[in-house]
Chain A
Amino acid sequence: MQLVDMEIPGQSERVITVREAGLVACRRCSSVWPGEATECARCGARLVSRDRKSLQRVWAWWLAGIMCYLPANLYPMLETRTLLFTSDATIVGGAIELIHHGSVGIAVVILVASVLIPIGKFLSIALLAISVDRPGLLPKHQRHGLFEIVEYVGRWSMIDVFVVAILASLVQLSVVASIKPGPASLTFALSVIFTMFSAQSIDPRLIWDEDRATNGDPE
């Protein structure tokens, strides 16, 4: 697809920010307003030039997410009952079982969605939140890459919860085999939801400001 660059206003060669122009932007609908405006007249969203208080929200949701993620790994996700035995499987335990059965691909999907993405997300959000005040912590390109990953990939962790829902509704074969969801399914889902809120609370403009202050523009 053809890319078209937006036009830089004024005689300047360099991109200027809305804040430098004394204006304030709406993060919901991308409209621009005079600096003293507090509510977007187009979509009704609250206007804040830089939301520094957002970091408190980020950390609060982050902590709630971690507190739910620990029990999600310790308690069983699935409780399987067959004629001969009853077994409880945690997230990692279930994936290891899959590898023993030879379904390596599916095990990888589960491990990526339920272990790699959540843990990576906790680390990334923490790094981003800390690096707002300590910009030297990470190279700038990595910070922007990280933010995009955190924002768009996090919701895919819900896969495991939906797998449990489908298995538990489908495998109900009276005494031969039945599957019940375990307590970890709830805490895992809550952990995903809380970290989504945490990631959404990050104001990415804070990250870009630091780059400008320390390194100039990436262009």
Chain B
Amino acid sequence: MAAPTYHDTKDLIACTECDALYHVVDPNPGELGVCARCHHVMIRPRRFAGMRIIMMAVTMLILMVGAIYFPFLRVEVQGLAHSASIMDAVFAFADVRLSVLSVLTAAFILLIPALRMGLLLYVLVPIVFDRPALAGARRAFRWSEVLKPWSMAEIFAIGCAVALVKVGDLARVEMGPAFWMFIGLVIVVVVQETFICSWSIWKSLDSQSA
């Protein structure tokens, strides 16, 4: 078929999975804009998403400070007891041969999740409060998207559940305040993800610089 030519590409959107081309249809908040070819969700606007993402990012950062600071788990067998913080879990690989893994674990469960929240705040706070975007906001948001699969706090939480069952047979395990803070943090991260519509955020960044 003869392909039509497009002079203005601003109101076009591409499916990043299958390369289908569409005119942007602005769905109402709560609706999902999907690709007709591969059913990939392209746009998912939510009401007051910006403000909610900001509040959840701040909550998450506060919970993370608490989760690092307070005792995480405590184990007790026949009068012998030992407690561990999240940092102890990170430094479990402090053995010289495995020290790279300590760095990776710290990055996956603490540094990258916190960095993503920082980047999202950097991008969204000016947008939500009607200020001009900060320098490098676009690069910041692109990095936040690149880092998404490497933010593994929720996987660490499932790892905790598995470890608890493993130890639970042999010893009495007590969850410390940091444990519950970390679980809260994971819930916040998972809920926040459902509010992040990258197309809407890019659109806001576009209209700000126009």
Interface residues in chain A, defined as those with a beta carbon under 8 Å from any beta carbon in chain B? 1-10, 12, 14-23, 25-34, 42-45, 98, 101, 103, 105-106, 109-110, 144, 155-156, 158-174, 176-177, 180-181, 183, 185-186, 189, 193, 196, 200, 204-205, 208-209, 217-219
Contact = CB atoms under 8 A, between A and B. Distances in A.
A34 B16 contact: no
B33 A4 contact: yes
Interface string B2-20: 0111100100111111111
B121 to A, nearest CB: 19
B82 interface: yes
Interface of B: 1, 3-6, 9, 12-25, 27-28, 30-38, 42, 73, 75, 77-78, 80-82, 84, 88-93, 95, 97-98, 100-101, 104-105, 108-109, 138-139, 141-142, 145-146, 149-150, 152, 155-156, 158-160, 162-163, 165-167, 169-171, 173, 198-199, 202, 205-206
Contact of B5 (A17, A22, A164, A204): A22
Contacts of B33: 4-6
A32 B83 CA distance: 54
The 9 closest A-B pairs by CB, nearest first: A162-B159, A25-B14, A6-B22, A168-B92, A169-B88, A166-B163, A208-B18, A32-B12, A169-B84
Given A10-B4, A21-B6, A169 B91 contact: yes
A17 B15 CA distance: 9
Contact of A103 (B17, B80, B146, B166): B166
Given A2-B31, A219-B37, A183 B98 contact: yes
27 contacts: A3-B31, A3-B32, A4-B33, A5-B33, A6-B34, A9-B21, A15-B37, A20-B1, A21-B3, A23-B14, A30-B13, A31-B13, A32-B14, A32-B21, A42-B202, A106-B166, A159-B159, A159-B162, A162-B89, A162-B155, A162-B163, A165-B105, A166-B73, A167-B167, A174-B80, A193-B104, A200-B149
A199 to B, nearest CB: 9
B21 A5 contact: no
A44 B16 contact: no
A29 to B, nearest CB: 5
